[in-house]
A and B are shown apart, each in its own frame.
Chain A
């Protein structure tokens, strides 16, 4: 099976869908000649032309709004916001417009669009380029929120997102782009709203998102040596969330740890802990726990940045604490 980076897998998915479906168009900053900052759309402008690959000025609200309007007329736009931090410039279009069109029109208007964006810390770009803002979007009814953790999922989830009839926020962690993995050349889809058990185990359930899933996987050899066997779940889609898979796992392990890079207050982890506490209180042998980024703007200095987000050591320590 071919080996692709996360970025190549995304490019491959976009390419397949652009070839297959003329309704798919791309728009965003620097996606043309440059092929986006991470090379995800490299070569697309030449191959598909400037009416399908719309490189835009720095206008996040207009990029998002244009995608919504085109989607309402039957197109399947994939809009790109270069950094998730910049989605704040487009929040009216995302929250008040895209998310609510279908409901407000009682189902008559559909907005089948994907908003691809890139987030997370680790690049030394500091507080306005390294945030994890997924929880803002899972709070809003009418949006789907997807966070892939590896190249294989990135391709299958992106193809599903483009074919979905709802607005989908697709968040790619910047440190994942160079990560390699096996990715089939042919098309395949991974359903939105379906979690994956990455490793089976009986001792505790770990739900980890995006790049944190990679960090959790890194701890497995150490845990294995110590005789600790966690069940690791990648939710893949944060909204709607596959609580069924997570609940089944907790009923087996009786322990829960959620690991996310975002800060804790009113976050994905906060919500998952609440839902689990409400529904599985009697199954839990210990309080459900979460390991999150600190509530601090992501700092520039490497040591400070590292201190602000969970690492493998933190993961191992909290697991031992829980058990």
Chain B
């Protein structure tokens, strides 16, 4: 496998740390009673979003899920605007109308997170259809979890993308649980990559806790997709080490299982890989961690100081 440029690795390391710290801050604010609603954190799965999005190019798009903060930050989403949105503020990405599950930024290529499991997949296919029609050398990376692969929308969309050879990457984040339902109880096959085979689609199983592998496989998949050889399906096996939502009692899984996966922390794994190659980079990595902490503190300040939306404007934006 081709060596990954060290600058790319540092950028991946920074974004993974940013996601981790962002989510930890969001959890802290939740327990302080400052943000509300559902909060689905991406802790443990950072390598997937960052590995995939780092392999995308300008003009590419992503579609995201209810667990979307990681995808957004990996696409250079602004942590200030994101945290302000989580706090429901007028300066947030959606001016407090969308919240955690609906952040979109078309300028950055983020088609939007989605509160409906599987709901974003057909739309990602439509975006790929537009790119194809516009003859652009770009792709859509469509993120979804293991749970979404049992929805009708998933199967309809994969079939459509395949018969039309659309430039789209289906990124399955198999974190083994749809809320409390383990994949072994919900899906009749072990490897979800096999679901793509039913649609004549190239597929690959990837270690979703290995950011370098995710990055490299996405690059290959992207090359296939833009050359007109149809969609590619990547099953990234990973694990959410926090609950489905912040207050999830997690009575459906063994703590030992969680601890085993914590040992496979994708951020620590990447750090070790970088240091194995060149131990002198330790200081640089530490400075990245400090920089990220500052970014999050700034985002918290920005979010808390942002104004609330005006209730008089509640019906704004329903129609153009």
Instruction: Check B319 against A62 for contact (C-beta < 8 Å).
Output: no
User: What is the 8 Å Cβ interface bit string for chain A, positions 122-160, against chain B (1 contact, 0 not)?
Assistant: 000000000000000000011010000000000000000
Q: Which interface class (under 10, 10 to 19, 20 to 34, 35 or more) fits A?
A: 35 or more
Instruction: Check B98 against A166 for contact (C-beta < 8 Å).
Output: no
Q: A71-B126, A97-B116 are in contact. Are A92 and B94 (CB under 8 A)?
A: no
Q: Does B163 contact A (CB under 8 A)?
A: yes
- What residue in chain A is nearest B135 (Cβ atoms)? A51
A192 to chain B, nearest CB (A): 10
Residues in A neighbouring B111, C-beta threshold 8 A: 69, 72
Residues in B neighbouring A240, C-beta threshold 8 A: 319
How far is it, in angstroms, between the C-alpha of A93 and the C-alpha of B124 when the chains are bound?
12
Q: Does A61 contact B (CB under 8 A)?
A: yes
B139 to chain A, nearest CB (A): 13
Instruction: Check B127 against A109 for contact (C-beta < 8 Å).
Output: no
Instruction: Check B104 against A52 for contact (C-beta < 8 Å).
Output: no
How far is it, in angstroms, between the C-alpha of A204 and the C-alpha of B53 when the chains are bound?
63
- What residue in chain B is nearest A95 (Cβ atoms)? B116
Q: Does A74 contact B (CB under 8 A)?
A: yes
Instruction: Check B119 against A92 for contact (C-beta < 8 Å).
Output: yes
Instruction: Check A103 against B318 for contact (C-beta < 8 Å).
Output: yes
In the complex, chain A residues 69-96 whose Cβ is within 8 Å of any chain B Cβ? 69-75, 77, 89, 92-93, 96
> Interface size on B (CB < 8 Å)?
46
Residues in A neighbouring B121, C-beta threshold 8 A: 65
Q: Does A195 contact B (CB under 8 A)?
A: no
Q: Does B14 contact A (CB under 8 A)?
A: no
A313 to chain B, nearest CB (A): 40
Q: Given B102, B123, B129, B152, which contacts A105 in the complex, CB threshold below 8 Å?
A: B102
Q: A52-B133, A109-B104, A141-B318 are in contact. Are A96 and B122 (CB under 8 A)?
A: no
How far is it, in angstroms, between the C-alpha of A108 and the C-alpha of B317 when the chains are bound?
9
Instruction: Check A66 against B123 for contact (C-beta < 8 Å).
Output: yes
Q: Does B106 contact A (CB under 8 A)?
A: yes
How far is it, in angstroms, between the C-alpha of A25 and the C-alpha of B130 when the chains are bound?
9
Q: Does A104 contact B (CB under 8 A)?
A: yes
Q: Does B105 contact A (CB under 8 A)?
A: yes
Q: Does A110 contact B (CB under 8 A)?
A: yes
In the complex, chain A residues 253-278 whose Cβ is within 8 Å of any chain B Cβ? none
Q: Does B147 contact A (CB under 8 A)?
A: no
Instruction: Check A106 against B122 for contact (C-beta < 8 Å).
Output: no
Instruction: Check A108 against B105 for contact (C-beta < 8 Å).
Output: yes
A95 to chain B, nearest CB (A): 10
Name the residue among B102, B104, B318 with the largest chain A CB count within 10 angstroms: B318
How far is it, in angstroms, between the C-alpha of A60 and the C-alpha of B152 when the chains are bound?
10
Instruction: Check B127 against A72 for contact (C-beta < 8 Å).
Output: yes
How far is it, in angstroms, between the C-alpha of A213 and the C-alpha of B126 when the chains are bound?
36
Q: Does B156 contact A (CB under 8 A)?
A: yes
Q: Does A183 contact B (CB under 8 A)?
A: no
Instruction: Check A166 against B320 for contact (C-beta < 8 Å).
Output: yes
Instruction: Check A108 against B106 for contact (C-beta < 8 Å).
Output: yes
User: What is the 8 Å Cβ interface bit string for chain B, positions 75-111, against chain A (1 contact, 0 not)?
Assistant: 0000000000000000001111110001011100001
In the complex, chain B residues 258-272 whose Cβ is within 8 Å of any chain A Cβ? none
How far is it, in angstroms, between the C-alpha of A101 and the C-alpha of B105 when the chains are bound?
12
How far is it, in angstroms, between the C-alpha of A54 and the C-alpha of B163 when the chains are bound?
11
Instruction: Check B156 against A61 for contact (C-beta < 8 Å).
Output: yes
Instruction: Check B115 against A54 for contact (C-beta < 8 Å).
Output: no
How far is it, in angstroms, between the C-alpha of A157 and the C-alpha of B102 when the chains are bound?
32
A283 to chain B, nearest CB (A): 27
How far is it, in angstroms, between the C-alpha of A35 and the C-alpha of B114 when the chains are bound?
34
Instruction: Check B152 against A61 for contact (C-beta < 8 Å).
Output: yes
Q: Does B160 contact A (CB under 8 A)?
A: yes
- What residue in chain B is nearest A98 (Cβ atoms)? B123
Q: Does B159 contact A (CB under 8 A)?
A: yes
Q: Given A61, A69, A75, A77, which contacts B153 in the complex, CB threshold below 8 Å?
A: A61
- What residue in chain A is nearest B153 (Cβ atoms)? A61
Instruction: Check B153 against A106 for contact (C-beta < 8 Å).
Output: no
Residues in B neighbouring A60, C-beta threshold 8 A: 156
- What residue in chain A is nearest B309 (Cβ atoms)? A106
How far is it, in angstroms, between the C-alpha of A93 and the C-alpha of B317 when the chains are bound?
19
Q: A62-B157, A104-B97, A142-B318 are in contact. Are A97 and B119 (CB under 8 A)?
A: yes
- B: residues with CB less than 8 A from A are 61, 63, 93-98, 102, 104-106, 111-112, 114-116, 119-134, 152-153, 156-157, 159-160, 163-164, 316-320
What would be 26 A-B contacts, judged by CB atoms less than 8 Å apart?
A51-B132, A54-B129, A54-B164, A61-B122, A62-B156, A65-B153, A66-B129, A68-B126, A69-B123, A69-B124, A71-B126, A73-B61, A75-B133, A92-B116, A93-B153, A102-B317, A102-B318, A103-B318, A104-B102, A104-B112, A105-B317, A108-B94, A141-B318, A166-B319, A166-B320, A240-B319
- A: residues with CB less than 8 A from B are 25, 51-52, 54, 56-57, 59-62, 64-75, 77, 89, 92-93, 96-97, 101-110, 141-142, 144, 164-166, 240
The 6 A-B residue pairs with the shortest CB-CB distance in the complex, in nearest-first order: A65-B122, A69-B126, A66-B126, A62-B156, A69-B123, A59-B156
Besides A93-B123, A166-B320, 9 other A-B contacts (C-beta < 8 A): A54-B129, A69-B125, A73-B134, A92-B119, A92-B153, A101-B104, A106-B94, A106-B316, A106-B317
